Amino acid sequence: MYPAEFDYVRADSVQEAIELLNQHQDSKLLAGGHSLIPMLKLRLAQPATLIDIGRIPDMEGVSLKDDVVQVGALTTHAELTDSETLISLCPLLSEAASRVGDPQVRHRGTIGGNIAHADPASDLPAPLLALDATVHMVGKDGERSVAIGDFFVDLLTTALGEDEVITRITIPIGKDSRGSSYLKMEHPASGYAVCGAAALVSRSNDGSHVRLALNGVTATPCRGGAVEEALKGSDLTDVAIDAAVDDHLSISEPLSDNFASGSFRVHLAHVWSKRALKIARDRVSE
Amino acid sequence: MTYPVSVEVNGQVHERDVEPRLLLVHFLRQMLGLTGTAVGCETGLCGACTVIIDGETVKSCIQLTVQADGTKVTTIEGLASNGDLHPLQKSFWDDHALQCGYCTPGMIMAAKGILDNNPHPTEAEIRAGLKGNLCRCTGYQNIVKAIQNAAKGGE
Amino acid sequence: MAGVIGSAIKRREDPALIQGKGRFTDNLSVPGMQYASIVRSPYAHGRIESIDTSAAQATPGVVAVFTGKDIEESPSGGVVPTVWLLPTLKTPPHPILASEVVRYVGEGVAVVVAENPYIAKDAADRVSVEYEPLGVVCDPEDAVAEGAPQLFEEAPRNLAFEWELGESEPVEEAFTNAPKKVELKLRNNRILPHPIEPRSALASYEDHSGELTLWLTSQNPHVHRLLMSLASIGLPEHKIRVIAGDVGGGFGGKIHHYPDEAIASWCSMQLNQPVKWTATRSEGNLTDAHGRDHVTRAALALDEEGRIRGFKVETHAAMGAYLSTFAPAVPTYLYGTLMSGQYDMPAIHVSVKGVFTNTAPVDAVRGAGRPEATYVVERLMDLAATELDLDPVEIRRRNFVAADAFPYQTQVALEYDSGNYQGTLDRALEIAGYDELRAEQTRRREAGEKPLGIGFSTYIEACGLAPSQLVGALGAQAGLWEAAKIRVHPSGSVTLFVGTMAQGQGHKTTYAQIVADRLGIDLESIDVREGDTGEMQFGMGTYGSRSAAVGGSAVVKGLDRLIAKGRLIAAHLMEASPDDVVFENGRYSIRGGDPSEGHSFGEVTLQAYLAHNLPEGTEPGMEETAFYDPANFTFPFGSHIAVVEVDPDTGEIELLRYIAVDDCGNVINPMIVDGQVQGGVVHGIGQALWEEALYDDGGQMISATLLDYALPRAHKVVSMELDRTTTPCPHNPLGVKGIGEAGAIASPPAIVNAVVDALKPYGIRHLEMPLTPEKVWRAIHPGEDA
């Protein structure tokens, strides 16, 4: 309940944050704090210094530039939920954000903090993976971009360098008509996803394309690539979806805990994938 | 080390030097003596510490005081105006929406957050809006009713 | 104020609480206050080899660090005792800080006192303790097995006690002869009391007076004072004042006398400074006395028509690492005695082994023994119905104690006072629309839709604890009477002190209604005070749904004496014989005369204080203390129906409806009674669906925080459909029973019965609580791995 001592510095710009990261050994970035502060309170994290990036200007909000949605790293889950841009162009992300925690958590938790923490049971990783998002980060050697699939390295581990700051997440928006769905089985205590499925269905002249990703099931969010491949050009009937998931969704090394064993999670992944794909299909605007 | 903060709480500005690790809920309770905001867990999952910061509900046990520097905080103590109970305080009383009363301040602040965003919520919307607040006494039924009745009164 | 009993009076507790002005213990501060942090064992069983406190001592801001050795060397008692003794009970000492062996994760081994809680925690982390790990056993059946790790030398096979009730011979005979037998092994999952307010103690000792003031999160401050004095800190009882201000929920967890509060008191005495200790949530979850944790084998013998001939129950009940305050009573006299349920059972035998395990102590949690008993009875009834191909309603009807059979003597010691079991069931069926529900169930089955389940729980409860002589004979080291002190002030207003202690039950409102009704005065003229041992001489607190039935009766008894005294004075003033004076609507008048010519109770009270003109032999003043010892338990009952839907693909359960028809005798405040039912039902739903205080094989508690321990949340439950019938209690003056625990007693089997009912086509006989999705899914898909 009582965090250990730490120093606190505030960064007014990304550059300053990077400088501070280089100056302070054993430091951590603080944005909304909703992943970090609970760890501090349980003394599972005891950094020497917190660098508060929560007030850096221009790192918050959702905008559209050249068919790419730009999401500032400090954008809160509530802003993701309510963003008109996301609701119209990228409803999968706003739907998933609306399922994060509870209203209070959504008011303060940020997308940058969320992915930096890389909790596999969080709600945002699978939708970002299905959306082919890119994470942009800045360090002392300048800016670099990492595809979301490469960003999550392991449980609570990312490609973010020790002196880097996530500045924004970008999501390409296709021109075809799309439907999407995020479904999850919620852990009754924590509210995290025991299994979350993000599905995206698009229809263009060359037929249907689906994208499917899961969180809560494995140490990092996983993409149902083989299912996507199997459903390429499919008419996406219930039968086709069920068969594709049954035959092609393979999950290795599932997470396991007292609430849900690995094999049950694998089973859930199949059930939720089918359901999410069907809802996404039904939501495709013709 | 300490860090200087200026926080406006219930309309009054407080300037203090605080340890960076001081949680906002402890700043309110221990430094300002505003003990209406309660602590019920340590993982940010019970909502007893819910306050409103710059118009949004926030759990004050997962906020550092330094993060609240420069903000306007409303706690349960700041809800009644000129001695008149807030409509939610009235409806919680009228509808027996509290028993032990420990979760009540956080619950009322969360309820205010619901109605501020959605003046006429359905029962399902109210229940979803209370997801972050635990009550062990009431079974939630009368809390839902009180929020519905406060919403009706606001018409 | 006639008619005030039975009215939904708004609560007088609420104005403070809705404005954040509650006086909860952790809200209080006194000058010079220091903060304690307790160093706890990370091992479930281990020998303490060394404790190094030097780094903690050296931490700036630290006032003191103490270990168990320091307490042992002081003239304090240094232990927390159990107060319910059974004939074979082993009572190894429970030190307030362990100095040699730790027996569960979370047991205290040292304490740091510092100027603020952050520093106290910093220093506590710097106390270095070396342990030699010992063998661990957490399951009550494993613990009695040959070769299991032993917690105490004096308790071979970890047996705290062996206990039985009822006669086994007739039961065996019934099983030999009965045409039908139904057997089940079932576990009652360990749960946390989990009030939202963690336990807290603020101890302030002053050496010049030798007095300790202890603000405490307590359901029974007088009992805490007594045990603190007799066993824990070595101060005489009259030098301790315990004050429970507002208490943020208890659910049993704040009945018990814990080490931590004694440690804070002991530290304050050593330092001559106020010391506050407040549990963090995980600390509370590791150390609050848990509830349930039974493993039971039960069997019913029945005739062809489903009438019960015999019932036998064998239970292993975990006691945890030490015997908590009332622990031995919970799985025995509060459990075995309830095994007749609402049914006329000709032969019952219950045997219970109380078992030490390397876990937090187990004691009363909302319902305490009665939920466990009801779960066994109601699950067996449903199973019997299935195996005899009877409707669950029909098997209950055939076995109910008839409405004209009261008082009814069970085969397990209790005499039920009054009841009408068919009455609540009929009403519940009517509200539910039972036939339509069954039709819908069939329709769904035929259409291949999500299965619907309808679950019953027709429960009995024994509450209003309890007749003192009886509980004394059963092992209680206390009487369970209650006391009320009624102080009528010269101007006619009243301060009522009662020895009970509310944690949300609304006593300040309910008791005031009784006083207003009896004395015919306004509610505004009445204050109710509880929880301060400095104000009230003794009382037994609030648990076991006893406050209205026992405390309320004490209030009535005292009021009747005051009214009688007033009658003497009024008669004297009116120059009439007391026998000719009636007291109605707050006024004394001559029988048959004009009431307006009489005297109000207030006027008579003023005369009592003036004492200018009192009848001979009448003392001045108007105050009474009454002690009420109940003649029997009270026996509330009811019928609950849960309607659920199960997703066979994921194992998820959705609660669709919940109907509860309860009978708690006469009702003083229907709004409060409904609130108790709603909260209790949801508490039990939590046990059935989500809650489990789970230990791994090494004795680590897996669900010590809310990240893993799931309490019911608003979006997971529904608005309940409630009604009542009224069968007054015949043996107390208000005719009231008790309602604080009924919901939590009734709802777990209603939910489990509903889920099992939904899954009947899958051949499922039973599912263990909590009904997590995986458990349900695996039952539906046996042997299947995705």
pLDDT digits (tens, 9 = 90+) for A129-145: 999 999 999 999 999 99
Chain A: give the shortest CA distance to residue C690, in Å.
Answer: 7
Neighbours of C611 (CB within 10 A): 12
C-alpha to C-alpha distance for C80 and C94, rounded to whole angstroms = 6
**DSSP state, residue C3:** T
C-alpha to C-alpha distance for A93 and B58, rounded to whole angstroms = 22
Instruction: Provide the sign of the torsion angle of the four alpha carbons A61, A62, A63, A69, taken in this order.
Output: positive
* Residue of C652, C691, C700, C772 to mutate, interface with A, max A Cβ within 10 Å: C772
Low-confidence ranges of chain C (pLDDT < 70): 1-2, 785-786
The answer to whether the CB of B86 falls within 8 A of the CB of B26 is no
Contacts of C660 (CB under 8 A, 6+ apart): C428, C638, C639, C640, C641, C677, C681, C720, C721, C722, C723, C743, C746, C747
pLDDT in the model for residue C451: 98
Beta bridge partners of C472: none
Chain A: give the shortest CA distance to residue C253, in Å.
Answer: 21
Using the beta-carbon criterion (under 8 Å), do A8 and B44 form an inter-chain contact?
no
Using the beta-carbon criterion (under 8 Å), do B44 and A1 form an inter-chain contact?
no
The answer to whether the CB of C15 falls within 8 A of the CB of C238 is no
Interface check for A190 against chain C (CB to CB < 8 A): the answer is yes
Instruction: Provide the sign of the torsion angle of the four alpha carbons C283, C287, C292, C293, taken in this order.
Output: positive
> Which runs of E-coded beta strand occur in chain B?
3-9, 12-18, 50-53, 56-59, 72-74
Q: What residues in B contact A40, CB-CB < 8 Å?
A: 21
Strands C34-40 and C108-114 turn out to be antiparallel
Chain B: give the shortest CA distance to residue A38, in Å.
Answer: 5
Contacts of C781 (CB under 8 A, 6+ apart): none
Interface check for A252 against chain C (CB to CB < 8 A): the answer is no
Helices and strands per DSSP (H, E), number in chain C: 20, 28
Counting one residue from A and one from B, how many pairs have CB atoms under 8 Å apart? Answer: 86
Using the beta-carbon criterion (under 8 Å), do A101 and B132 form an inter-chain contact?
yes
Name the residue in chain A with its Cα closest to that of C117.
A2
Using the beta-carbon criterion (under 8 Å), do C709 and A189 form an inter-chain contact?
yes
C-alpha to C-alpha distance for C428 and C721, rounded to whole angstroms = 9
> Which residues of C, range 98-117, sit inside 8 Å of A by Cβ?
117
Using the beta-carbon criterion (under 8 Å), do B93 and C11 form an inter-chain contact?
yes
Contacts of A66 (CB under 8 A, 6+ apart): none
Using the beta-carbon criterion (under 8 Å), do A104 and B21 form an inter-chain contact?
no
Q: Which of C269, C281, C104 is nearest to C196 (CA)?
A: C281
Chain A: give the shortest CA distance to residue C279, in Å.
Answer: 10
Select the residue of C118, C710, C778 nearest A188 (Cβ to Cβ).
Answer: C710
C-alpha to C-alpha distance for C78 and C96, rounded to whole angstroms = 6
Select the residue of A42, A43, A185 nearest C650 (Cβ to Cβ).
Answer: A185
Q: List the Cα angle C327/C331/C334 in 5-degree steps.
A: 95
C-alpha to C-alpha distance for A29 and A59, rounded to whole angstroms = 14
**DSSP state, residue A131:** T
Using the beta-carbon criterion (under 8 Å), do A189 and C703 form an inter-chain contact?
yes
Whether A177 has a pLDDT exceeding 90, the answer reads no
Using the beta-carbon criterion (under 8 Å), do B141 and C18 form an inter-chain contact?
no
Chain B: give the shortest CA distance to residue A144, in Å.
Answer: 29
Q: If you search the block for the tokens 């009754």, which residue do you land on?
A: A188
Using the beta-carbon criterion (under 8 Å), do C702 and A258 form an inter-chain contact?
yes
**C216's tokens:** 């405490």
C-alpha to C-alpha distance for C11 and C6, rounded to whole angstroms = 14
pLDDT digits (tens, 9 = 90+) for B47-80: 999 999 999 999 999 999 999 999 999 999 999 9
> Which residues of A, range 21-60, sit inside 8 Å of C by Cβ?
42-43
Interface check for C218 against chain A (CB to CB < 8 A): the answer is no
Find the mean pLDDT for residues A248-276.
97
> Which residues of C, range 626-685, sit inside 8 Å of A by Cβ?
649-650, 652
Select the residue of A33, A102, A190 nearest B67 (Cβ to Cβ).
Answer: A33
Chain C adjacent subunits, 3+ CB pairs under 8 A: A, B
Name the residue in chain C with its Cα closest to that of A245.
C786
C-alpha to C-alpha distance for B27 and B5, rounded to whole angstroms = 11
pLDDT in the model for residue C252: 97
Q: What percent of chain B has pLDDT over 70?
A: 99
Find the mean pLDDT for residues B30-48.
97
Q: What residues in B contact C682, CB-CB < 8 Å?
A: 138-140
Q: What residues in C contact A264, CB-CB < 8 Å?
A: 773-774, 777-778, 786
Q: Which of A183, A172, A176, A131 is nearest to A284 (CA)?
A: A176
Chain centroid offset of residue B97 CA: 15
pLDDT in the model for residue A204: 83
Find the mean pLDDT for residues B123-130.
98
pLDDT in the model for residue B83: 85
* Residue of B17, B50, B64, B133 to mutate, interface with A, max A Cβ within 10 Å: B64
Q: If you search the block for the tokens 């049914």, which residue do you land on?
A: C343
Q: What residues in C contact B140, CB-CB < 8 Å?
A: 678, 682, 712-714, 717
Name the residue in chain B with its Cα closest to that of C199.
B40
Q: How confident is the model at residue A119 (pLDDT cuts 50, 70, 90)?
A: very high
ipTM metric:
0.98
Chain A: give the shortest CA distance to residue C386, in Å.
Answer: 29
Q: Which of A145, A168, A175 is nearest to A75 (CA)?
A: A168
Interface check for A261 against chain C (CB to CB < 8 A): the answer is yes
Cβ-based burial of A82 (10 A; exposed 0-12, middle 13-18, buried ≥19):
middle
pLDDT in the model for residue A197: 98
Using the beta-carbon criterion (under 8 Å), do A41 and B131 form an inter-chain contact?
no
Name the residue in chain A with its Cα closest to that of B62.
A37
Using the beta-carbon criterion (under 8 Å), do C26 and B77 form an inter-chain contact?
no
Helix (H, G, I), strand (E, B) or coil at C675: helix
Chain A adjacent subunits, 3+ CB pairs under 8 A: B, C
Helix (H, G, I), strand (E, B) or coil at C662: strand
pLDDT in the model for residue A140: 93
Counting one residue from B and one from C, how many pairs have CB atoms under 8 Å apart? Answer: 174
Q: How confident is the model at residue A286 (pLDDT cuts 50, 70, 90)?
A: low
Contacts of C147 (CB under 8 A, 6+ apart): none
Name the residue in chain A with its Cα closest to that of C785.
A263
Find the mean pLDDT for residues A72-78.
98
Q: What residues in B contact C282, CB-CB < 8 Å?
A: 42
Phi-psi region of C586 (alpha: psi -120 to 50; beta: other; left: phi over 0): left
Interface check for A103 against chain B (CB to CB < 8 A): the answer is yes
Q: What residues in C contact B127, CB-CB < 8 Å?
A: 714-715
Using the beta-carbon criterion (under 8 Å), do C786 and A187 form an inter-chain contact?
no
Select the residue of B43, B96, B99 nearest C705 (Cβ to Cβ).
Answer: B43
Cα separations (Å) of A95 from C97, C103, C405, C469? 51, 48, 60, 63
Instruction: Please report, as a single letter, which amino acid is at residue C168.
Output: S
